Each structure stands twice: as C-alpha cells, then as structure tokens.
Amino acid sequence: MNNIFAIASVVLKEMYRRKDFYVLFVLTALITLVMGSVNIFNDDKVVRYLKEICLLLIWVSSLVIAITTAARQIPAERESRTIFPLLAKPISRNQMILGKFVGCWIACALVLVVFYLFFGVISGAREHFWPVVPYMQALFFHWIFLGIVIALVLWGSLVFTAVSSNATICFIIVAGIMLLGGHLNQIAGRMNGISATITSAIYYIIPHLEFYDLRDWIIHDRGVVAWGPWLIASVYGLVYSAIFLGLACIAFRRKALTL
Amino acid sequence: MTRLLLGLGIVSAFSLSTWLQPRFAAMQTNPNATDSALGILMGESSRVFANHFLLKADAYFHSGTYPSVFDTVTNKEPSAIMGEAHADHDHDADQVHGKDEHDDHHEESIYGEPHDWIERLGHSFIPTLHTHLDKPGEAREILPWLKLSAELDPQKITTYVAASYWLRHDPKHADEAEPFLRQGLRANPDSYEILLELGKYYNETKKDPVRARNVWELAWAKWQKQKAADKKPDELTGAEILGELVKEARSRDDAHSQIQYLELLKDLGFDKAALQQQIDALKQRSK
Amino acid sequence: MNAVVEIKDLRVEYPSRELGQKTKVAVNGLTLKVSAGEVFGFLGPNGAGKTTTMNVLLGFVNPTSGSASIFGVDVREPIARQRIGYLPELTYYYKFLNAEELLRFYAKIFNIPKSEREKRIDDVLKLVELDHARTRLIKTYSKGMQQRAGLAQALINDPDLLILDEPTSGLDPLGRMKVREIIQRLKERGKTVLFSSHELGEVETVCDRIGILCQGELRAEGRVADITAQHQTNLERVFLKIVGYQEA
C-alpha cells in the first residue's frame, strides 16, 4: 500500500505542475460565464441552459484530463526511462499499475471537486437553491465513471504502442458507450441471427458508462437519486475498474523491459 | 527573421481581408443570411445544431424526459410527449408551445417496462417521469435554446413561433415577443406563420384588434401568394389565420367579413357542412 | 566470503528481428559470483550481454534458463531489490520533480521511516555534492549533475549492493573523477559494487575483480593483476585479444 501511494503522490505532483487542468478550468469558467452573461429576453433567472453548458464542459474537460493523464503514465515512464530506476526498487509491476491508477483517480477527484464547486456556485447564485445531496451523488458517479475510464486507458497503454492512438481509441470507445451503450439491446432486437447475438453480447459485456451521467437529472432538479440503484451502480463501476486493472496488470507482467 | 515574419503577417492579413470582404458584403445584402458570429463560424452545420437546440427546448419543456430515436422506434408509437405532429418538422412548434394532444399533466414513465436489469438500473438515473414546465415562470427555461436555434438558423420559422408563444404567455416577457417576431420576419419576409403569431401578439397582449386584423390579412395574403406559386403552404395554419379573422370580425359584429372568411375557410375543405351552417345563420341574421 | 550476487548457468534469449532467425542469444551459460565488499567490473564490447545480465539481476527481463539471486533471494522477487541501488546508463528522472522530491519518493518506496528519511536525503545529497541544488527541478541540471542525482537515488536506501551501468558514460573528465571518487568511498564503507564500463583505465583503478563478456559468454574472470599477468600484457591488449580484435 505504501508503494502504491508513493507512486500516486508522484502522479498528483505531475498533475498540479502541468498546465492542462488550469487551462481547461479557465476555459470552462470563461465559457460558462460568457454564456451566463448572454441576455435571454431580459430574464436573469434562466438557469437550466447554463447548468447544461457548464456540466457539458465539465464532462468533456474531466474526460480529456483523465484520458490524457492515464494514457501517458506508463509510456512516459518507458520513454524517459524512469521506469528502470523505479522497478529496480522493491516494487512490483502490479503495485506500479495500481499506484498509477490511484494517482490518476485521486487527481480526477480533486479536479471534479473544483469543477463541481464552480458549478454549484454558478447554479446556486442564479436559482438560490442548493441541492447538495444530488450534486454530491452526481460528483461521485462522475468519479466512478472516470475510474473505469482510467483503468481502461491504463490497460490500453500496455496494448497500444502510441499514446495518441490509445487516447483516441479510448475516447471513441467511451463516447460510443455513452451514446449507444444503453440502446444496444434495442438495436439487437431489430437484428436477426449472429449479428443480433453479437450485439446482445456486447451489450452485456461493456461497462454501461451512461449510468453515471446524472446531468439531465440535476439540470431538471429531479431530487435525490434512489440510494439502492445508486449503490448498485457504484459497485458495478468499481467491479469494471477492477477488471480493467487486472487486465492491465497481466499485460504489464508479460511485457519485457529492455534498456 | 523578424522582418520576414512581419512581412508574411502583413501579406496574410491582406489576403485574408480580400477573401473576407466580398463575403461579408454579400452577407450584408442577403436578408436571409445569419448575421450571428456563431452562425458564421459554424457554416452549414449550424442548421443541424439549430434543429438540435429546438429539440432541446422540447426536452426542457418535458423536464428532461425525452425518448431517444431508439426508444421511439422500439416502442412503435410516438412517445406521449412528442405528439403525432412531430414526424413533420414543420410542426415541431406544436410540441414546444404545448398544443400537442397529450398535454396532460400526469406523472408517468414514458419508457414502459424495461427489457433487462441493465435497462431497469439505467432508468433510475435519467428523468423518466413525464412532466411539463407548467409552474408559473418555469417555461422560461426553454427560451435560451429557442434563441440559440434562431441565431443559428434564422430561416427556421418554428423557432420564432414557439418562442413567441411562450413569451406572450409570460406577463414578464410579453413585450419581448414583438422584437423577436420582427427579427424572424426580417429573415423570412414571406412567412405567414410569423405574421399569424404577430397578429396574436397585437390582439391578445397589446389589445389592439385593428393592428392584429391588418397583420392577419397580410398573413392571409402571403399564404395565398404561396398557394398561387404552388409552394404548398400549410392548410392548418391557413385555417388558423382565417379563424382568427373570423373571430375578430365577430367581435366587431361584422357579418359581411365573417361570411367572406368562412367562405374561404370552406374552400380549404374543413368541415364544410358546419361552416355552411354558420354562413347561412349569418346571412339570415343580416337580412 | 558470502556471495552477494550469484548467477548460475544463465541463458537469455530474445525474439530475433532478423529473417530466418527465431531467437537471439544475449547471454549464454553465464556463471558468476560477486562477494560482499567487492567492486566487480563488467567489461565487454557493445552487445556482449552486460546490460542484459544487469536487466536479469534487476528483474526487468526473465531468464530463459538458469538462475540468478541477490543476497540469496531469487531476482524475480521484488524483495530481492530491497538492498540494491541501481544507476542506469542514461539517467532521466521525472522532469517535474526536484532532487529532494525525487529522493523522498524513492525513500518512501524503500519504506524508510519518516524520521530517518530527511536525514538520509541530506546525507546522500551531500555525498554527491548536490546539496546546493536540492530544490531545483532536475530538468534544469547539467548532465554531470543529473548523473550525480542518479547516483543519489541509487544510494538513498544505503544499499549493500550497487549496480551501476556505465556510470561515467558521457561525463567530462571532472564528472568521471567525481563518480570514481564516490565509488571508491562506497568501497571503503564496505559496499559491494557491480558495474559495467568501457573505460579500461577506470576499471583498472577501481575494481577488485573483473569479468570480460563477449557474445554472451564469460571469457575471462579474476583480479586485474592476475589476468594481465596470465596474458603477460596490459589490460587493453588482453581485452582486445579476448574480443577477437586483430591488430593490423
């Protein structure tokens, strides 16, 4: 555990010394504030569109941060050869993968806290209403979602050679699941034969990332999400993160490291 | 090196300005062209986004409960909130300004029974209960999307009509309807739909039936012009214009005008027998 | 004396990139012992198998056959690396860290107690003469300073065995001398050092024993004086003869 947190602390240091987060946060804040200053028929109480834009920017920014940060972790260690002095220490490859995961995941948690605080302030200032519990539920779900994405990207970084190809493929997979994942059963229902079976199998195999998108829920003030399903989906997300991490550990263990 | 870069910069700026100038000039002379920075930036794709934002407004009106294309297809029937008219894009204002036949206020799930546990779990995290923004002032939430849609596609008449409906029905925003409709009219000078809406604004909001009648008459003239040009104007809207004119003439007790408009309405083919009955009654009374 | 490093009949094969050849033998039947307190020099031309042997000792590469152990623990176990310090040939460290943070990170991995950690960092930075630049980002260091930062990280756990892969490669004469002095000091403190080098003069000055590797095989092993006496010539000529270089 000590090794895992030591590696995670380095990932966090890298995160706050790089400019990515600051740039994305400033961009998000700027666009939201500009959109907030647009005159909508002289009504300053219109809030839902602002929440929608702000949340969309938060989702895109956090996804970009999670994918780019996780995708470069192992390749950057290999490219800069920092992996050699590191693995020459009493640390296993599994611990290294877990450390990278924990680091990226904690970094994302911090990023999300900052983003959601901004979101809370912006929406609260307009509607004078602070639904703290639904916002916390949305933040936690978002974090679980990023956990699955980070684990997937870490695995991808051991399968694909180039950082850019891994990041692009993972981005497409995540976007594809978000848009179509939940509808694959309906699509399969309209197919016949082997293609229906394959589509149906994909539907049951993929992690249903769309669960974690509570944007519509909080934009339209639908209250607190039922705790039972919320808990089940959280466990479901953690299981998928563990599966992808396991695959990453296996892939890394099989990889020969040569100077 | 610096001089070379400076020279290159000046040449690029000059080339860019010569390329942009004729386009800008053409845009200023074309009343149909969008003049918003967003529209210029997005080019032709702006129409796609405009349509998306119009649907967004519809989704907002139903508090985020909105079926995807897959749900609609699988459930075989148009969702309760979409209404039959949604298949026809010209009528999508109907959903936004609440004219759909399913304008009930019951809270019910639009998705039906889930097919499997994944779908069942997924439904816990999206708004599935069908509600409307019907509390006072709540409908304001759809206005940004309508405004954005109009910015991106000034030719989308539905947007002006829908926005105007909501603006007129909110006492705080009623006066905003006219400039928005005028903006729509500038981009669509032949639109009888916008004129119909403008007439309603003068009649209901401004209590100025004379001005309303003038505008509706102009709307009817535009409708006829389109009919003559074989542009297949919407008959329902034509009937609505005539209906408003009949009501206005009735308020003045002008039987002659009423008969004239009812005859036109009859020509459109709507319930001829009932209309003839009304015409006969009016003729009888005026004798 | 106790064997710190023990290699028995080690064979390492890599998948070959040449057509018609499935594998390439990097190390072939290497058997070697390095005793406690010894400075052992690994010599050999490029591609002789020096780095591969070190990679096996560090657990980066699994042997095809044979075995290797450090302090009696199989090198595949992470715990075998608890008492090791390693300096790779080219030192690149996390660009966003300074020397102090880098050492603190490695100290955490060695599980050095917090109370002892800062003192150890001070000592090591003084030893490699980087105390004045401890809070500067490593990316701003000169090559010599980076190499010394590399040595510092290799020494943070006060290792009993140091594995140095061409530690003076690419350094100016002053930098090389400083590294040699550090190795000498470590030797005086009873540390075992295993290092590879192309610099025969350096090997002659610092090493107790040497091994000359060629085409993955150990061709000569022993004290420098014994080897030169056996071949009745200096180390450079012995080396050239063993690697098969024919003088014109």
Q: Name residue, tokens 């190795």.
A: C183
| Contact between A90 and C105 using a beta-carbon 8 Å cutoff | no
A107: left (phi over 0), alpha (psi -120 to 50) or beta: alpha
- Nearest CB to A89; choose among C87, C110, C163: C110
Each domain of chain B, given as residue ranges in start order, spans: 39-188, 190-287
For residue A155, the model assigns a pLDDT of 95
Question: What residues pair up with C164 in beta bridges, in sequence order?
Answer: C87, C195
Element (H, E) at A119: helix A93-127
- Nearest CB to A41; choose among B116, B122, B173: B173
CA distance C159 to chain A (A): 11
Provide, as residue numbers in chain A, all residues whose Cβ is less than 8 Å from the Cβ of B71: 183, 186
| Contact between A186 and B180 using a beta-carbon 8 Å cutoff | no
Rounded Cα gap, residues B159 and B145, in angstroms: 9
Are the C-beta atoms of residues C28 and C11 closer than 8 Å to each other? yes
How many CB atoms within 10 Å of residue C70? 28
Cβ of B179 under 8 Å from any chain A Cβ?
no
- Please tell me whether residue A252 adopts helix, strand or coil conformation: helix
Are the C-beta atoms of residues B86 and B95 closer than 8 Å to each other? yes
Cβ of B173 under 8 Å from any chain A Cβ?
yes
Least Cα distance to A85 among C107, C98, C150, C53 occurs for C150
Task: Name the residue in chain A with its Cα closest to that of B72.
Answer: A186
| Range 23-62 of C in CB contact (< 8 A) with A | 51-52, 55, 58-62
For residue B105, the model assigns a pLDDT of 46
Q: Do chains C and B touch (3 or more CB pairs under 8 A)?
A: no
- For residues C173-200, one letter each, b for 16 or more C-beta atoms within 10 angstroms of the residue's C-beta and e for the rest, the string is eebbebbbebbeebbeeebbbbbbbebb
| Range 58-97 of C in CB contact (< 8 A) with A | 58-62, 78-82, 84, 86-97
Provide, as residue numbers in chain B, all residues whose Cβ is less than 8 Å from the Cβ of A43: 140, 143, 172-173
More confident of the two residues A164 and B3: A164
Task: State the alpha helices, DSSP H only, in chain C.
Answer: 50-57, 99-109, 114-127, 143-155, 173-188, 200-206, 224-231, 235-242
Q: Cα B103–B106–B109 angle (5° rounding)?
A: 105
Rounded Cα gap, residues B237 and B211, in angstroms: 19
Provide, as residue numbers in chain B, all residues whose Cβ is less than 8 Å from the Cβ of A41: 140, 143, 147, 167, 173, 176, 180
Task: Name the residue in chain A with its Cα closest to that of B148.
Answer: A40
Q: What is the mean pLDDT of chain B?
A: 77
CA distance A27 to chain B (A): 17
Interface of A to B at Cβ within 8 Å reads: 38, 40-43, 45-50, 141, 182-183, 185-187, 189-190, 203-204, 208, 210-214, 216-217, 219-220, 222, 225-226, 229-230, 232-233, 236
Provide, as residue numbers in chain B, all residues whose Cβ is less than 8 Å from the Cβ of A236: 121
- Nearest CB to B127; choose among A190, A216, A232: A216
Provide, as residue numbers in chain C, all residues whose Cβ is less than 8 Å from the Cβ of A75: none
Cβ of B171 under 8 Å from any chain A Cβ?
no
Are the C-beta atoms of residues B196 and B158 closer than 8 Å to each other? no
Residue B35: pLDDT band with limits 50, 70, 90? low
N residues, chain C? 248
Rounded Cα gap, residues A101 and A103, in angstroms: 5
- For residues C219-248, one letter each, b for 16 or more C-beta atoms within 10 angstroms of the residue's C-beta and e for the rest, the string is bbbeebeebbeeeeeebeebbebbbeeeee
Mean pLDDT along residues B107-119: 75
Q: What is the pLDDT along chain C (248 residues), one digit of tens a residue?
A: 578 889 999 898 887 776 667 788 888 888 988 888 888 988 888 888 888 888 888 888 888 889 899 888 888 888 888 888 888 877 677 888 888 999 999 999 988 998 899 999 998 898 888 888 889 998 888 887 888 888 888 888 888 888 888 887 777 788 788 778 888 888 888 889 888 887 788 888 888 888 888 888 888 888 888 888 888 788 888 888 887 776 65
Q: Which of B66, B125, B165, B175 to mutate to test the interface with A (most CBs of A within 10 A)?
A: B125
For residue B3, the model assigns a pLDDT of 66
Mean pLDDT along residues B51-60: 86
Count residue pairs from A and C with Cβ separation < 8 A. Answer: 91
Paired sense of beta strands C209-214 and C192-196, if any: unpaired
For residue A118, the model assigns a pLDDT of 94
For residue C191, the model assigns a pLDDT of 87
Question: What residues pair up with C24 in beta bridges, in sequence order?
Answer: C14
Residue B5: pLDDT band with limits 50, 70, 90? low
Are the C-beta atoms of residues B270 and B241 closer than 8 Å to each other? no
- Please tell me whether residue A61 adopts helix, strand or coil conformation: helix
Each domain of chain A, given as residue ranges in start order, spans: 2-254
Quote the tokens at residue B161.
């009509």
Rounded Cα gap, residues B259 and B250, in angstroms: 10
Interface of A to C at Cβ within 8 Å reads: 2-3, 5-7, 9-10, 13-14, 17-18, 80-82, 84-92, 95, 256-259
Rounded Cα gap, residues A198 and A181, in angstroms: 13
For residue A44, the model assigns a pLDDT of 76
| Contact between A222 and B119 using a beta-carbon 8 Å cutoff | no
Paired sense of beta strands C73-74 and C65-70, if any: antiparallel
CA distance B1 to chain A (A): 30
CA distance B112 to chain A (A): 13
Residue B18: pLDDT band with limits 50, 70, 90? low
Letter for the amino acid at B160? Y
pLDDT, one tens digit per residue, over B199-245 is: 999 998 889 999 999 999 999 999 999 988 888 888 899 999 999 99
For residue B84, the model assigns a pLDDT of 32
Rounded Cα gap, residues B205 and B167, in angstroms: 10
For helices A20-37 and A93-127, what crossing angle results, to 10°?
A: 20
Provide, as residue numbers in chain B, all residues whose Cβ is less than 8 Å from the Cβ of A178: none
DSSP C98: B
| Contact between A259 and C88 using a beta-carbon 8 Å cutoff | yes
Least Cα distance to C110 among C82, C68, C133 occurs for C82
Least confident of A134-138, A205-209, B26-30, B255-259: B26-30
CA distance B271 to chain A (A): 40
Looking at the domain covering B190-287, what would its CATH class be?
mainly alpha
Q: Average pLDDT by consecutive 10-residue portion of chain A (259 residues)?
A: 90 86 90 85 82 93 93 89 87 93 95 94 87 94 96 93 90 93 86 90 93 90 90 96 95 76
Provide, as residue numbers in chain A, all residues whose Cβ is less than 8 Å from the Cβ of C93: 80, 82, 85
- For residues B159-194, one letter each, b for 16 or more C-beta atoms within 10 angstroms of the residue's C-beta and e for the rest, the string is bbbbbbbbbbebeebbebbbebbeebbebbeebbbb
Count residue pairs from A and B with Cβ separation < 8 A. Answer: 93
| Contact between A81 and C165 using a beta-carbon 8 Å cutoff | no
Task: Name the residue in chain C with its Cα closest to that of A9.
Answer: C105
Q: Which of A3, A20, A79, A89 to mutate to test the interface with C (most CBs of C within 10 A)?
A: A89
